[in-house]
Structure 1
Amino acid sequence: MVKLAELVFIPFPCIGHLVSAVELAKLLVQRDERISVTVLLISVPLDPTIQAYVNSLSSNNRIQYIKLPQETIPTDGEPELFLYRIVENHKQPVKDAVTQLAMNANRGTDSSQLAGFVVDMMCSAMIDVADEFGVPTYVFHPASAGFLAIAFHLQSIHDQHNGDAIEFNNPEAELQAPSCANPVPYKALPDFIPGGVSTKAFYNLVRKYRETKGILINTFMELESGAIGSMADGEIPPLYPIGPVINLKTEVEIESSIIIKWLDEQPDSSVVFLCFGSYGSFGSDQTKEIALALEKSGMRFLWTLRKPPPKGKIEYPKDMSDFEEFLPDGFLNRTADVGKVIGWAPQIEILCHRAIGGFVSHCGWNSTLESIYSGVPIATWPQYSEQQLNAFQLVKEYKLAQEIRMDYRKKFGADEHEDVVTAEEIINGLRALMEKDCGTRRRMKEMRDISKKVVTDGGSSHAFLGKFIDDVINNMPRHH
Structure 2
Amino acid sequence: MDQPHALLVASPGLGHLIPMLELGNRLSSVLNVKVTVFAVTTGSSSPTESEAMHAAAARGTCEITELPPVDIDHLVEPDATVVTKIFAKMRAMKPAFQDAVKSMNRKPTVLVVDFFGTGLMSAADEAGLTAKYLYVPSHAWFLAVIVTLPVWDKVVEGEYVDIKEPLKIPGCRPVGPDDLLDTILDRSNHQYRECVRCGEEVPTSDGVLVNTWEELQGNTLAALREGGESSRVMKVPVYAIGPNIRSKGPMEKPNSMIFEWLDKQDARSVVYVCLGSGGALSFEQTVELAWGLELSGQRFLWVLRRPTSYLVASSSDEDQVSESLPEGFLDRTSGVGLVVTQWAPQVEILSHGSIGGFLSHCGWSSVLESLTNGVPIVAWPLYAEQWMNATLLTEELGVAVRTSELPGKGVIGREEVASLVRKIVAEEDEEGRKVRAKAEEVKVSSERAWTQGGSSRSSLFEWAKRCGLVA
- TM-score of the superposed pair, with normalisation by structure 2: 0.89
Per the TM alignment, residue 13 of structure 1 is displaced from its structure 2 partner at its CA by: 1.8
2:42 is paired with a residue whose SS is coil
Q: Distance in 2 between matches of 1:59 and 1:356?
A: 29
Alignment of 1:222 onto 2:215: yes
Q: Residues 95 and 89 from structure 1, CA distance in 2 versus in 1: closer, same or farther, beyond 3 angstroms?
A: same
Which stretch shows the higher mean deviation, 62-71 or 169-178? Answer: 169-178
What aligned pairs does 1:96-175 form with structure 2 within 5 A after superposition?
96-101=99-104, 104-105=105-106, 113-135=107-129, 136-158=131-153, 162-164=154-156, 168-170=160-162, 173-175=165-167
CA–CA distance in structure 2, aligned partners of residues 62 and 344 of structure 1: 26
Choose 397-406 or 298-307, whichever is displaced more. Answer: 397-406
- Provide closer, same or farther for how the CA distance between residues 252 and 22 of structure 1 changes in structure 2, counting only shifts above 3 A: closer
**What residue in structure 1 maps to residue 325 of structure 2?**
327
Code of the residue aligned with 1:427 in structure 2: it is: A
For 1:24 and 1:126, locate their aligned partners in 2 and report how far apart those are by CA, in whole Å: 19
In 2, distance between residues paired with 1:61 and 1:340? 36
Structure 2 unaligned regions, length at least 5? 311-315
Q: Which amino acid aligns with 1:448?
A: K
Distance change (3 Å), C-alpha of 1:64 and 1:169: closer
Worse overlay, 257-266 or 418-427: 418-427
Distance in 1 of aligned mates of 2:90 and 2:320: 37
Structure 1 residue corresponding to 2:461, chosen from 459, 466, 470: 466
Partners in 2 of 1:454 and 1:139 — Cα distance?
21
**1-side partners of 2:19 and 2:453: how far apart?**
22
Judging changes above 3 Å, is the alpha-carbon distance between structure 1 residues 355 and 466 closer, same or farther for their aligned structure 2 residues?
same
Does structure 1 residue 454 correspond to structure 2 residue 449? yes
Q: CA 1:39–1:350 in structure 2 vs 1: closer, same or farther (change >3 Å)? A: same
Q: Which among 211, 215, 231 is matched to residue 204 of structure 2?
A: 211
* Structure 1 residue 125: Cα displacement: 0.6
Contact 1:193 1:199 in 2 (8 A): yes
Is the Cα–Cα contact under 8 Å of residues 167 and 173 in structure 1 kept in the other structure? Answer: no
Q: Select which of 77, 86, 89 maps to 2:89.
A: 86
Q: Which amino acid aligns with 1:391?
A: A
From 433, 436, 444, the equivalent of 2:424 is: 433
Give the match for residue 400 of structure 1.
Answer: 399
- 2:43 counterpart letter in structure 1: P
CA distance in 2, matches of 1:290, 1:61: 42
Q: Alpha-carbon deviation of 1:279?
A: 1.1
**8 Å contact from structure 1 (residues 305, 319) kept in 2:** no
1:330-355 alpha-carbon deviations (Å, 9 max, x no partner): 11111002000013121121111111
1:61 positional shift: 6.4
After superposition, the C-alpha distances for 1:76-128 in whole angstroms (9 at most, x for unaligned) are 15325222112122111111101111xx23xxxxxxx4212100111111101
For the residue of structure 2 that corresponds to 1:273, the secondary structure is: strand
Deviation at 1:173? Answer: 4.2
Query: Relative to structure 1, is the Cα distance of residues 322 and 265 closer, same or farther in structure 2, using a 3 angstrom cutoff?
Result: farther
Q: Which amino acid aligns with 1:188?
A: D
Partner of 2:35: 37
Paired residue for 1:444?
Answer: 439
CA shift for structure 1 position 469: 1.2
> Scaled by the length of structure 1, what TM-score is found?
0.87
Q: 1:407 to 1:156 in 2, by over 3 A?
A: same
1:320 and 1:45 map into 2 onto residues whose CA distance is 27
> Is the 2:296–2:419 contact (alpha carbons within 8 Å) kept by the matching residues of 1?
no
**Do the aligned partners of 1:166 and 1:174 also contact (CA within 8 Å) in 2?**
no
Residue 415 of structure 1 corresponds to none
Do the aligned partners of residues 396 and 60 (structure 1) sit closer, same or farther apart at CA in structure 2, a change above 3 Å counting?
closer
**Is the 1:154–1:164 contact (alpha carbons within 8 Å) kept by the matching residues of 2?**
no
Measured in 2, the distance between the counterparts of 1:166 and 1:215 equals 31
Aligned AA for 1:178?
A: P
Q: Show structure 1 runs of 5+ residues with no match.
A: 106-112, 312-317, 410-417
Q: CA deviation at 1:178?
A: 3.0
The residue type paired with residue 213 of structure 1 is: D
Question: 2:302: which partner in 1?
Answer: 303
For residues 292-328 of structure 1, the C-alpha deviation after alignment (integer angstroms, 9 at most, x for no partner) is 11111221110010125689xxxxxx96356422211
- The share of aligned pairs that are identical, in percent, is 32
* AA at the equivalent of 2:93: H
Residues 351-399 of structure 1: CA deviation (Å, up to 9, x unaligned):
1111111111111001111111000111110011000000011111111
Contact persistence 2:150–2:200 (CA under 8 A): yes
Distance change >3 Å, CA 425–CA 309, structure 1 → 2? closer
Secondary structure (helix, strand or coil) at the match of 1:222 reads helix
Q: State the 1:280 CA deviation.
A: 0.9
Q: Distance in 1 between matches of 2:216 and 2:177?
A: 23
Q: For 1:320, what is the secondary structure of its paired residue?
A: helix
Which of 168, 175, 179 is equivalent to 1:176?
Answer: 168
Amino acid in the other structure paired with 2:272:
F
Q: Kindly provide the amino acid, as one letter, of the partner of residue 83 in structure 1.
A: I
Residue of structure 2 equivalent to 1:372: 371
